[in-house]
Every structure is written in structure tokens, then in C-alpha cells.
Amino acid sequence: MTACNCPVTQPGPTLASTCGGAPFMLFMGLLEVFLRSQCDLEDPCGRPQMKTTLLSEYDFIVVGGGSAGAVVASRLSEIPEWRVLLVEAGMDEPTGTQVPSMFLNFLGSEIDWAYSTEPEEMACLSEEGRKCYWPRGKVLGGTSVMNGMMYMRGSRKDYDTWAGLGNTGWSYNEVLPYFLKSEDNLQLDSMDRGYHGKGGLLTITKFPYHPPLSKAILKAGEELGYPIRDVNGMYHTGFAIAQTTSKNGSRLSTARAFLRPFKNRPNLHILLNSTVTKVLINTTTKTAYGIELLNNGAMQSIYASKEVIISGGAVNTPQILLLSGIGPEEDLAAVEVPLVHNLPGVGKNLHNHVAYFVNFNINDSNSAPLNWATAMEYLLFRDGLMSGTGISEVTGFVNSKYNDPNEDNPDLQLFFGGFLANCAKTGQVGEKLDNSTRQINIFPAVLHPKSRGSLKLKDNNPLSHPLIYGNYLTHTDDVKVLVEGIKFAIRLAETQALKRYGFKLDKTHAKGCEEFKFGCDEYWECAVRHHTGPENHQAGSARMGIDQMAVVNPLLQVHGIDRLRVIDASIMPAVTSGNTNAPTIMIAEKGSDMIKARWLTPEAGFFYTSHPSQRIDRQWGSW
């Protein structure tokens, strides 16, 4: 562990507050003191410093320092003569987020945009106001600071389908090199050969510690005919203990992986706690030339001589486009935003995976996994329950009866919850949370949802949250597939591998579904509509394509506006079959190379080979 030679000033939500306040203050407060004394976690010397004085003009401005934006800013600033500004609405990542087992703690905190959908017609019916909750990272590193860290690329068919829609260059074989470019895989020997990379900026590895139940779940999957395999390799169907974006038992966000190693680049400026209110566009030439932002209560304009790149994610990106006058003419007129370019697809095609939590009880007392013993194991060795996400590290990709298994494009993903060492009041070993037995969750998610939502501006105030219409489960096929996923979860719990743990289905009736017999299809159809799991894989709201409803072309340039690109999950024509962080990083890697291809010439000193990670440098020193 490195020595702390810099002052510790990192703010952010406290662990005690994320656990529930006063009852957790003593143990969680003390644990946080110890965690913040660990210099590899706090990293006071490695964090990028915010620029106090900005230039009036940059070559490139990247809006949003999240999963994609941090990568784009890092890659563009590799060119020493390019001045790059990265603008992030949130703060730097709090120390507590570095601990893998704390990954749920920061939902709803000040580093979360804490969005909610408008009242749903067919989902989240038992939630307050029939609204689904959408956490999104408002922090440097974005949602890669708050997610479960699973590294999942999706299926080959995902990308081949994108290419089949006219998106030249986005087939699986064409995007695979950009996955490899980022990757520094620490377990190449146990992964499918040829599908993983070494030496990239993003460390990919399994967590150091695996609860015994994790391995039992893999065996249960095998009993039902699903192999244990590298689901990012030759095939996508099967079960796995996932590889993750982690390093030495701690989280590796895109900010930590792609920005911190280059914090001293003089041409890379990072501005935190600043909200971009719109992109500046010349209405005559339809060319982007800068941004307007709100910083410390003051409005400021900053100019870009080459391009503006929006990397705000599936919610903020369409919001910024709309605030800039780019979007459906009628929607902009309704909130009195002057029209710059009529682009009807902005905010449309918004969609997300959708899940349902199936609860089980096992033969184990419901004691807190977090205690002083597990804490010391982590503080001293970066091992034990705090170094992972409990059984949330396990996943399975399976087929419902509606899906063709021969396509290797599974339509269901299974997630698991339990043994998460995230909160405790006393730190004593065996501290009971209540007098019941331990609960385990299995939650199937629909990977290819057919329901589509949309996003509009609430008003023309850039600080207002947009109106989000999730439209979950409005297509009946999504409900049918999800019910099949629930049945699979129950079958999984009945396998010999899990019987020894005493898995028992919690048959508490779902609120609002009392009229149906527990366990019949009608009951589950009711349950998924009342207690919907909205997932956090939002995508598609600035869709890539060549048709009239597309927002960006295959080069990720906004249709009709020069020098403006979108690089994030919002460009996905259809969400990938799995967790979306790895595909978003890939999109950022590919998008960055597309920008370089436009603006770099041999005279600038760089020639690129056919492999995107190789650069022949004839003029500049290595960065």
C-alpha cells in the first residue's frame, strides 16, 4: 500500500449516512476512518486536480465524466497538442465507493442523480406514485462508481444486429478490438483464448473472495444443462463468476483507470461540480462551437475549435441535446426552447432491461456479513467479503421457451443477491439483523425488451430533471419472458446443489396480487407489474442509425450538426445482452479513434495501424 504524502480532502457521503444514519454511526464511522487511512483507497496524490482557471477555448470539450466521457477525455488527450476539457456535474468519487461490498450504499446519495420515471401504466404499480427509480452516477466516473462492476460485453448477435441496421463498422468482429484495447485481463489462462487483452488501462479480474454459495450456484446451473464458461468468449450462454472492473480488491471506475494515471497531462483539464446547460451551435452553418455551463452559480461559455462530445448517458445526453434546440420540433416548442435542428429521434427509443426479485430463505441465521473480522481481513489483505459483492458476483445467461438456444443469444440474465458486507451497527461477529433466516434473491432480467420509452424536457430550466417515460412491460412479450425467468429461478433453487443450503421460496403474497393463487402464471404476471425491478442499464435514447429516427450516424456524429458527437450508451440501437458498462467503454474507445481519424493527419506525427491499440509515433514522446 502506498504512503499518503498528500492532504486528504475527499468529501462525499459518509458510510454511516448511506447505511441509515445514527444507529450505524459508531461502527461505520470508525470503519470509514480506517478505510480512508488506506492510501491505495483514498489515493490523495493520484486524484486529478480540478483546474481553477480555464482556457477560453479548447480543441475538444467532453460533456460528462462518466463511464464513456472519462475514456474519451483520456484518449483524446493522448495527443499532446490537443487541449481537452472534461466537464462533470458531480464531485470526485468518495473513498467508500472503492470498497466492492459497498456498491449499493451510494444509491440515493448525493453522487446519484436519483431520477424517477413518470407514473407507469403497466409497471412499478405498488411503488409510490407508480414511479420506477432510476439511479445514475453524478460523479467523476459516472455509474461505474456505483455499479456492481460486472464486466459483460453482450452477445455476438447484439453487434451484428447493429451492423445489420446499416451501422457500418459495428459488427462483433469490428468492435472486438476495442474491447481488447481497454483490457488488462489478469486471468487470461482461464479465459477463452483470443477474446481478451493484456496491457490495457482497465484491469479485468474476478474478486479475490468467493462465498461458498457462489460456486454452488454454478453447480446448480450445470444441473439444469448450462455450462460454466467464459461468457465474454466464444459463447455467451452459461453461468459464471463474473470478471469485474476491479483491482487489488477495490473498484476500478473509468475515472480511476483512464484519468488518474494521466492527471499531470498539461493539456487535460477537468472541471467538476459544473452543469452544462447547452451546446452552442451556429444556426447558419449548423456547427457546434462550444458549451454554456453553470459553475458556482455563474453562467460561462467555453469554446471548442474542433468538436463537442456529449457523454452524459441515456438520460442526460438527450436532455442536453433538447436544451440545445436539437430534437422533435413539437417537444421543443412545448417548453419554449428555440429550434436549432429538428431531429425527431432525440429522447425516443429509451429502454432498459427489466427484472423481478424472487426471494428465498436458507438455513442460516440472518447475521450481518460485515463485522470487525471481515473488516480486518479487508484492511490488512484486501480479501474476504468486503473485497467482493457477495453472491452478486455470479450470473447466468439462459434461454426462455420463447428463445432459440441455437442462436447463442440468451434472452434472460440471472442476477443474485446475498452475503453482502455493506452495513452493520456494532461490528460484532454474529450481529443479528433480525430473528428470521437469511434471505437470498434471484432476479431474472429480460435481455431483449420490446417495450420502448421516451424522454422529454419538463421545462427549459437546465437544472430540472427531465420527464422520463419508462413504459416498462407495455409489450406483453416482456412479461411472458420475465415470468419464464421466474420459473427458471425457482427450478434453480430446487437443484441438488442448492438443496443443501435449504432454499425455500418466500411465498409472501405480492401486494396488489392477493386475488391470484400464489405461483400461477397470472400471479407472476401481476407481481412483475406491481413490484418491477427496473434495472440500471438504460440505453438507446440517441440511437445510432441511418433512418429518420436516428440521432447519430455510424461515426457517432449528430445528424445535421457538424462537430458534435454523442459517445455513450444512448447511441445503442438496442441494449446489449448483459450489463452495459463494458459496451459503453468499448463505444468510447471506438468513438475516440473515429475523432482521431478525422483530425489527425500524418503531419501531426501519428500513423495508425489496423489494430486500434497500436500507434506508430514518429514525433512525440510516449505518454
Residue 617 Cα distances to 181, 370, 602, 606, 609, angstroms: 17, 50, 10, 5, 11
Distance of CA 415 to the CA centre of its chain: 15
Go through 431-448 and write b for each residue having 16 or more CB atoms within 10 A of its CB, e for each that does not.
eeeeeeebbbbbbbbbbb
Question: H or E stretch including 204?
Answer: strand 202-204
The torsion angle over the Cα atoms of residues 24, 26, 30 and 36, rounded to 10 degrees, is 40
- Contact of 331 with 585, CB cutoff 8 Å: no
Would you please indicate which residues are annotated as catalytic (active-site) residues?
537
- Contact of 280 with 303, CB cutoff 8 Å: yes
Which H, E and C letters describe 497-542, residue by residue? HHHCCCCEECCCCCCCCCCCCCCCHHHHHHHHHHCCECCCCCECCC
The Cα 196–Cα 233 span in angstroms is 8
The Cα 101–Cα 148 span in angstroms is 9
Helix, strand and coil in the chain, % to nearest 5? 30, 25, 50
Beta bridge partners of 342: 327
Q: Provide the sign of the torsion angle of the four alpha carbons 570, 571, 575, 580, taken in this order.
A: negative
Cβ-proximal residues to 160 (8 Å cutoff; 6+ apart), any chain: 171, 172
Task: Supply the DSSP string of 9-67, one letter for each residue.
Answer: ------HHHHHTSGGGHHHHHHHHHHHHT-HHHH-TTTSPPPPSS--SEEEEEEE--ST
Cβ-proximal residues to 125 (8 Å cutoff; 6+ apart), any chain: 512, 529, 530, 532
- Contact of 565 with 595, CB cutoff 8 Å: yes
Distance of CA 414 to the CA centre of its chain: 17
Looking up cell 487535460 gives 268
